[in-house]
Structure 1
Amino acid sequence: MPKAKNLQEAYNNLVVEPLESEEEFRDFYVERPVKAPSPIEELKDRIHISDRKGEVPLSGVQRLG
């Protein structure tokens, strides 16, 4: 699957099914820099300091091994 160049292509590439092969996983995996802050910690901090009420949907994949 080619990498999306814009939001429309990204949406059209979206398939709501589990990734089934290492190749599919590699197509979507993005390496996070080692010194980068944890995205989970950043999200937690934003939720804690927000005055807005509401729900935050979360989704993700954890690679094992």
Structure 2
Amino acid sequence: MKWYKSGEVHRFDQPIGKQYTFGHGPEFMSDAEKKDRQVSNLKMENEILKKYLELEKELGKE
């Protein structure tokens, strides 16, 4: 959560125990792969927010 809130989403791509500080993530990823990964993360975030809003509506009705 700390990385996400501070905008350090590049850290999600690094393996456990490996720290990337110089290039902000693994160098083997191309720009297209990075963009695909970002789109995937945003889609997941959107789905989570939709589910949250549904739950909020259900709890508000009761």
Interval of TM-score (by shorter of Structure 1 and Structure 2): under 0.3
Q: Which has the higher helix share?
A: 2
* TM-score, normalisation: structure 1: 0.27
Relative contact order (alpha carbons < 8 A, sep ≥ 6): 1 or 2 greater? 1
* TM-score, normalisation: structure 2: 0.28
